[in-house]
Structure 1
């Protein structure tokens, strides 16, 4: 853009903003809603929870500084360590099998000669999108304490005595772990299936020509190339297992927060916050849980990343 000065000469005027700066501002404006919503809904509650962990507050009266007393109360509570134990045990029983079974199911669903593949793919994903109310009804019938329940009937076929699934220590853990497995195995299967489909068929054809069977192809081709997807699912599964809340709460119903057979860490902090109105100890529990998640996620990710790595010969 140019203008005429007092002498009649043409002078180029300086633009207030260049096209590059305009594009940059436009880009920031497009992504701003996400960061604003994240700051209000995600970041602020997290920061406030850390602040609240050092306060004593029941939700109504003014806050009073408590220092590390909230952490001391939580760490000295036997029920907290019981909840940590329950969370780890149910996490292992419900998560580890679904990762292994998910890889096998994904490999089977990718076979070219399998009929009705699309039907099976949709069916295996259905539990993930099923309402938790429906899940509660299904598993309350399957794992009923009555001798005629399906779970007790199957045990009777093998000569075992009926189990009180909703009241016994290990019966409750096994039932909830099976519920977690049933609900999430399809989710991991679909992720693995997407990873398998990204592998070139030329590798499988070459392996078939060399005489490799399906198991050898799974072991030496699929698994190494599926490693990034395995790391992803292990990370998400670890975080989800340590935040277990919906399944035990729905399965045990109203008595979930008064018994310790399946009390998880998230249930423990929920009880402190909304049952006992002790938001300080609940926030301290959340901070401790954050460190537990970081430690377990780092260990599992390092272990998974090291799978299949050949040692160098010295």
Structure 2
């Protein structure tokens, strides 16, 4: 009885070039994204964690580290009336700037998306305010909203209206500061919405024309629903930037302290006052920074949840309407 043995062919050894090609395919994607994470760890994550460490220390700007502070820095900050006033001012300026800004940006993008002459000129023109330095914008608007003989008050007097104390109490200084923010960022957001509008397929608009929809109906029922993902992005970025506003209120007057009664002092200005003002207490300043970070995260998550809910509700409604046709 004979047994036939099959000889297995030896596996050919790969060359160094083949091994390098396989390794390169596996490692290359990580090398491409590595620079971003390295820079983020150095200029983003490390300062954030180090600020958290400082918030638990008695760290003086002049004398240095004076020992552990525990939660006393947070207790001190939360017990100060200026912190809550700065938080209220921050939210007031944020709402007065972000809400009109998004609405105006969508409308401007719709105009720029129409058949205009010299499209490139107008599209570049709306971006010019974004290029201007915040300090220059604050100085110019500071003259426009000057009390008494400012350009806005002069116009109001010409129209027979009473001049407004833009640097006084109430909501007027918040409106003036919000106008600076809107001037700088509306054009930038308009180009983002314009790019999203140009990505909408034309056959959707053609279907709306076939259904006898006019321009207003097409804009409200086709363009706006298709812009929901972009709106989520713009709202979240506007929230993060609006809650960290510093340059505009800082330069709104010559003192730079948020008014005599801190009527337009924001949280970032209070943070600056604690760390580099009269107290020179970087520990308490770091505590304000972390509290502001938590507020920004909570508001951003709330905005994200609300916009996602609105987006999902709109898409579900669209599917239902499509099913009834």
TM-score computed with the length of structure 2 as normaliser = 0.85
TM-aligned CA distance change 1:98 to 1:89, over 3 Å: same
Query: 1:6 aligns to what?
Result: none
Query: 2:323 aligns to what?
Result: none
Trace 1:290-309 onto structure 2 (pairs within 5 A).
Answer: 290-307=293-310, 309=313
Q: 1:18 Cα shift?
A: 4.5
Query: 2:238 aligns to what?
Result: 237
Equivalent-residue separation in structure 1 for 2:35 and 2:200 (angstroms): 37
Q: Is the CA contact 2:139–2:251 (under 8 Å) kept in the aligned structure 1? A: no
Q: 1:26 Cα shift?
A: 5.2
- More displaced stretch, 206-215 vs 280-289: 206-215
Within the candidate set 247, 260, 273, 1:271 is matched to 273
Q: Is the CA contact 1:94–1:180 (under 8 Å) kept in the aligned structure 2? A: yes
Runs of 4+ in 1 over 6 A off after TM superposition: none
Query: 1:252 aligns to what?
Result: 253
Q: Is the CA contact 1:257–1:271 (under 8 Å) kept in the aligned structure 2? A: no
Within the candidate set 60, 69, 73, 1:70 is matched to 73
Query: 2:102 aligns to what?
Result: 99
TM-aligned CA distance change 1:41 to 1:153, over 3 Å: same
Query: 2:139 aligns to what?
Result: 137
TM-aligned CA distance change 1:257 to 1:93, over 3 Å: closer
TM-aligned CA distance change 1:247 to 1:140, over 3 Å: same
Query: 2:113 aligns to what?
Result: 110
Trace 1:158-197 onto structure 2 (pairs within 5 A).
Answer: 158-197=159-198
Q: 1:159 Cα shift?
A: 3.7
Q: 1:150 Cα shift?
A: 1.9
Equivalent-residue separation in structure 2 for 1:211 and 1:29 (angstroms): 53
Equivalent-residue separation in structure 2 for 1:152 and 1:140 (angstroms): 12
State the SS of the aligned residue for 1:251. Answer: coil
Within the candidate set 281, 286, 299, 2:284 is matched to 281
**Cα deviation code 1:103-139 (max 9, x no counterpart):** 1111111112x23332221111111111223212321
Equivalent-residue separation in structure 1 for 2:104 and 2:210 (angstroms): 28
- More displaced stretch, 38-47 vs 155-164: 155-164
State the SS of the aligned residue for 1:277. Answer: coil
- More displaced stretch, 237-246 vs 27-36: 27-36
Query: 1:205 aligns to what?
Result: 206
Unaligned runs of 5+ in 1: 1-10
State the SS of the aligned residue for 2:209. Answer: helix
Q: Is the CA contact 2:258–2:264 (under 8 Å) kept in the aligned structure 1? A: no
Q: 1:239 Cα shift?
A: 0.5
Query: 2:8 aligns to what?
Result: none
Query: 2:4 aligns to what?
Result: none
Q: 1:23 Cα shift?
A: 4.5
Unaligned runs of 5+ in 2: 1-11, 321-325
